[in-house]
Amino acid sequence: MSSTEHSRQTVVANGQSYIAPQKPTVVITIDGCAVEYLTAALEKGCMPNLQALLDGGAFSVDALSEMPSFTNPNNISIVTGVAPAIHGIVGNYYRDPHGVERQLTQPSDLRASTIHAALHAHGIPVLMVTAKDKLRRLLSVGGVPSVSVEKADSLPIAPYGDATAADLVGRPAPHIYDWDASIYAMDIGLAAHRQAGPIGLLYVSFTDYVQHREPPGSALANQFYSAFDDRLGIYLAEGFLVGITADHGMNAKHNHDGSPRLILLEDVLQEAGIKGHAVLPITDPYTAHHGALGSFAWVYVDRTDRDRAIEIIGNAAGVTEAYTGREAAAAYELPSDLIGDIAVSGDRSMVLGRSASFHAASPPPGHLRSHGGRYEQPIPLILSEQPRPEFLGSRAGRPHRNRYIHDLLLNGCTEQQEAPSGIGSVQKPISVAPFGE
Ligand code: ZN
Ligand code: ZN
């Protein structure tokens, strides 16, 4: 699995080799970060550190997230480097092959290994930090140390000692619905790096509560991005190679009066005499974000009704794509055994629901903002250093995707000349300033 040719250690994850980090490296996934959030905050002068990076020639491109544009599939693509067709996490929520609907959060759901697990197996210090605990178990597959903001006050951050993440940070964790829960995730990563030894590869994944609530350029959004930028400056000062991307974008999904712009798929089919069942893969424990309404849905119907159901749904205003499962597997790089009979995507301002009676139980927030479709695929991808020109040249013609960010950082930004032993070398540990200096 590993080799030390050219004095560099490499590991393999899902058929792709990765050069072990030569210096502390972090990938930060800003949940729900449509490009417009960064643009608006930069224009307001709220992000001086990011501005300096961009002015100094950092690598910054428009990239794409996975479809459906939800949190779990994209976070897992980012840490495995492969599409959902390979890793098997097709949503936050799904109907399994036995017909049982459930969250996609179990380690046994993951069909691929993470890059972090491959490094961890070779003794390179890695850490996963996530705001939402729903992701933590998936990220910890392979024995990777992982911690969430939600459990920061209670779970030890082993093997970084018996202390909890909150002990390391030195203040209690905010609530998951506080605006700065994601900023605290960045603080956990910094505290672990400073106090428990240098981290080779760190992953920090946010929550999109702010983005679900606030449009780009709002006071709270800019406050959030300003705090992010403050921590970004600290990471850079600590010598981190930094990659920034998002799991998906975010768009307004409401009418002028603030009510959701919504297609109720089961009701639409029932009017045509078809009994259908919709599964909403945005569904997760954080219903205050979106009321389970996103711009993507699976529909299950009797085989004999499928083509007519596709025609009816496809003709509904605000639906941009209605595919058979087979077509969706090909178009979106999804595993054909884990998806529904029909895939439905909504347009920039449309969300998809089940039935009026179903959503009456937990109505969505007013002025809904959400994601899940093609219009939330565009995302930023920023690296604090430029990959080598020949590395980029070898990838010419391929779209930039969030799932390639570790390839770009670890393989593309590695210096060409013989590097000293990487992180994980017992002989030459990287020295960092002690905490508080
Ligand atoms: Zn998300
Ligand atoms: Zn969300």
- Whether residue 421 is predicted with pLDDT greater than 50 in this model: the reply is no
**Cα of 73 from ligand 2 centre, angstroms:** 12
Ion ligand 2 neighbours, Cβ < 5 Å: 208
pLDDT value for 263: 97
Average pLDDT, the chain: 92
Q: What is the number of the ligand closest to the CA of 69?
A: 1
Classified as helix, coil or strand, 400 is: coil
Neighbouring C-beta atoms of residue 202, cutoff 10 Å:
27
If pLDDT is split at 50, 70 and 90, which confidence band does 362 have? Answer: confident
Distance between terminal CA atoms of the chain?
39
| Mean pLDDT of all residues in 165-189 | 96
pLDDT digits (tens, 9 = 90+) for 292-317: 999 999 999 999 999 999 999 999 99
Higher pLDDT, 93 or 437: 93
**Cα of 75 from ligand 1 centre, angstroms:** 8
**Cα of 209 from ligand 2 centre, angstroms:** 7
Across 90-94, 237-241, 284-288, 334-338, least confident range: 284-288
- Whether residue 200 is predicted with pLDDT greater than 80 in this model: the reply is yes
pLDDT digits (tens, 9 = 90+) for 73-83: 999 999 999 99
**Cα of 19 from ligand 1 centre, angstroms:** 28
Q: What is the number of the ligand closest to the CA of 73?
A: 1
**Cα of 178 from ligand 1 centre, angstroms:** 16
Contacts of 65 (CB under 8 A, 6+ apart): 74, 246, 247, 248, 249, 376, 377, 378, 379, 401, 402
Burial of 418 (C-beta count, 10 Å sphere; 0-12/13-18/19+): exposed
**Cα of 203 from ligand 1 centre, angstroms:** 15
Distance CA 382, CA 405 (A): 9
Distance CA 10, CA 172 (A): 38
Higher pLDDT, 397 or 159: 397
pLDDT digits (tens, 9 = 90+) for 128-176: 999 999 899 999 999 999 999 999 999 988 766 788 999 999 999 999 9
Q: Residue 132 is inside which H or E element, if any?
A: none
Neighbouring C-beta atoms of residue 301, cutoff 10 Å:
21
Q: Is the dihedral of CA 252, 257, 261, 266 positive or negative?
A: positive
Higher pLDDT, 391 or 423: 391
How far CA 13 is from CA of 113, 334, 337, 352, in Å, comes to 6, 19, 23, 35
Please tell me whether the peptide bond between 378 and the residue prior to it is cis, using omega within 30 degrees of 0: no
**Cα of 82 from ligand 2 centre, angstroms:** 21
Q: What percent of the chain has pLDDT over 70?
A: 93
Q: What is the number of the ligand closest to the CA of 294?
A: 2
Question: Which among 251, 253, 243 has a CA at the least distance from the CA of 33?
Answer: 251
pLDDT value for 160: 67
**Cα of 431 from ligand 1 centre, angstroms:** 35
pTM: 0.93
pLDDT digits (tens, 9 = 90+) for 3-38: 433 457 999 999 999 999 999 999 999 999 999 999
Domains of the chain: 3-250+375-412 (3.40.720.10), 262-370 (3.30.1360.110)
pLDDT value for 430: 31
- Whether residue 424 is predicted with pLDDT greater than 50 in this model: the reply is no
- Whether residue 43 is predicted with pLDDT greater than 90 in this model: the reply is yes
Contact 18, 118 (CB under 8 A): yes
pLDDT digits (tens, 9 = 90+) for 265-282: 999 999 999 999 999 999
Distance CA 144, CA 123 (A): 11
